[in-house]
């Protein structure tokens, strides 16, 4: 009988700004879920989109993770260094006949965001490479929470018109090659999951299991992000930040220590996915 693969989780930030409370929630949830299940935890920097990146953000994020006791197990991987893997996956998909060229803009796409191979690029035009694929929405979320049915597009860009690899391609290729078995991440990415599951299957990989943590919003109901003015975390207050996150995630608090790593170690056996609430509320900033 084949043995179930060991648990391999990951945190995959884009270096568009410093780690803030919202991203710490996703990092802590994926870390504790991995550790609680005796798994490994990896960090991957998703630096695929240079115009959106902020100088020094990758190093800053890694420094914040360390300061918060979130120690990863294997060398950090950087998507900017993995074009060979993305090219190989594109070539594999091309051979399967699923890719097509598209010149659509947001304005010309249909309501669901699908091209449906209705556009006819002129020879030599800058084209995006899309995949004709229907997302597989029959997955069970590992985490509690109400999930509205997704309005699934039936194709997605894998390589952009500006030649950059798209997030959908890179995330699936890397989760597959890194042997990720469990993806715990923010619910803002849940809409991407069905297509990612289908894409894993096209590439011949077993898809990971997915769990989506409710997104932390500000007082106006917007997702906390650099664009909505989220503050960088103060690494000097790591223990307080972690306690705040554990409370928001509905977890039983361990005896508080003044050491971030010790706090996470004590929180690991207490981790319980079922306690995560449907919406996150931060009593400190409310
Ligand atoms: N890089 C993505 C982000 O920072 C996360 C990707 C993922 O977890 O799948 O939003």
Examine residue 60 and state whether it is found in any structural domain, yes or no. yes
Examine residue 268 and state whether it is found in any structural domain, yes or no. yes
pLDDT in tens, 124-154: 889 999 998 887 777 889 998 766 666 666 7
Q: What is the CATH number of the domain that holds 224?
A: 3.40.50.620
pLDDT confidence bin for 257, thresholds 50/70/90: confident
Examine residue 3 and state whether it is found in any structural domain, yes or no. no
Average per-residue pLDDT in the chain? 90
Cα distance between residue 229 and residue 232, in whole Å: 9
Whole-number Å distance, alpha carbon 165 to ligand 1 midpoint, is 14
Q: What is the mean pLDDT of residues 63-79?
A: 98
Whole-number Å distance, alpha carbon 257 to ligand 1 midpoint, is 30
Residue ranges making up the domain that contains 218: 8-285
Ligand 1 atom closest to Cα of residue 171: 9
| 186, 85 contact by CB (below 8 A) | no
Examine residue 281 and state whether it is found in any structural domain, yes or no. yes
- The CB of 171 under 6 Å from ligand 1? The reply is yes
**Pocket residue to mutate for ligand 1, from 10, 14, 225, most atoms within 8 A of Cβ:** 14
Q: What's the domain count of the chain?
A: 1
Whole-number Å distance, alpha carbon 167 to ligand 1 midpoint, is 8
pLDDT at 270: 98
Examine residue 1 and state whether it is found in any structural domain, yes or no. no
Examine residue 2 and state whether it is found in any structural domain, yes or no. no
Whole-number Å distance, alpha carbon 210 to ligand 1 midpoint, is 13
Q: What is the mean pLDDT of residues 58-68?
A: 98
pLDDT at 231: 86
- Lay out the sheet containing 99-102: strands in order across: 99-102, 128-132, 155-159
Judge whether residue 1 has pLDDT over 60: no
pTM of the model: 0.92
Judge whether residue 271 has pLDDT over 80: yes
Judge whether residue 275 has pLDDT over 90: yes
Which segment of 91-105, 128-142, 157-171, 272-286 scores lowest on mean pLDDT? 272-286
What is the SS3 assignment for 121?
coil
Examine residue 203 and state whether it is found in any structural domain, yes or no. yes
Examine residue 47 and state whether it is found in any structural domain, yes or no. yes
């Amino acid at each position: 009988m084949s043995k179930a693969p060991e648990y391999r989780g990951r945190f995959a930030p884009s270096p568009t700004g410093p780690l803030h409370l919202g991203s710490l929630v996703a990092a802590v949830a994926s870390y504790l879920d991995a550790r609680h299940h005796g798994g490994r935890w990896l960090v991957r920097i998703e630096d695929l989109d240079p115009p959106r990146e902020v100088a020094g953000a990758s190093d800053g994020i890694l420094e914040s993770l360390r300061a918060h006791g979130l120690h990863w197990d294997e060398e950090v991987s950087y998507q900017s260094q993995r074009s060979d893997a993305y090219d190989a996956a594109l070539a594999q998909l091309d051979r399967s006949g699923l890719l097509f060229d598209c010149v659509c803009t947001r304005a010309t796409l249909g309501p669901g965001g699908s091209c449906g191979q209705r556009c006819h690029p002129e020879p030599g035009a800058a084209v995006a490479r899309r995949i004709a694929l229907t997302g597989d929405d029959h997955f069970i979320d590992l985490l509690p929470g109400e999930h509205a049915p997704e309005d699934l597009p039936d194709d997605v860009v894998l390589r952009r018109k500006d030649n950059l690899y798209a997030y959908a391609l890179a995330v699936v290729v890397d989760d597959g090659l890194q042997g990720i078995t469990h993806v715990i991440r923010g619910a803002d990415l849940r809409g991407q999951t069905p297509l990612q599951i289908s894409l894993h299957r096209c590439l011949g990989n077993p898809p990971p299991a997915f769990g989506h943590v409710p997104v932390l919003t500000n007082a106006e109901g917007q997702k906390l992000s650099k664009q909505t003015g989220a503050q960088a975390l103060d690494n000097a207050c790591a223990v307080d930040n972690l306690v705040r996150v554990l409370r928001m995630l509905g977890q039983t608090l361990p005896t508080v220590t003044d050491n971030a790593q010790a706090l996470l170690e004590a929180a690991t056996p207490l981790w319980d996915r079922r306690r995560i609430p449907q919406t996150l509320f931060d009593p400190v900033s409310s």
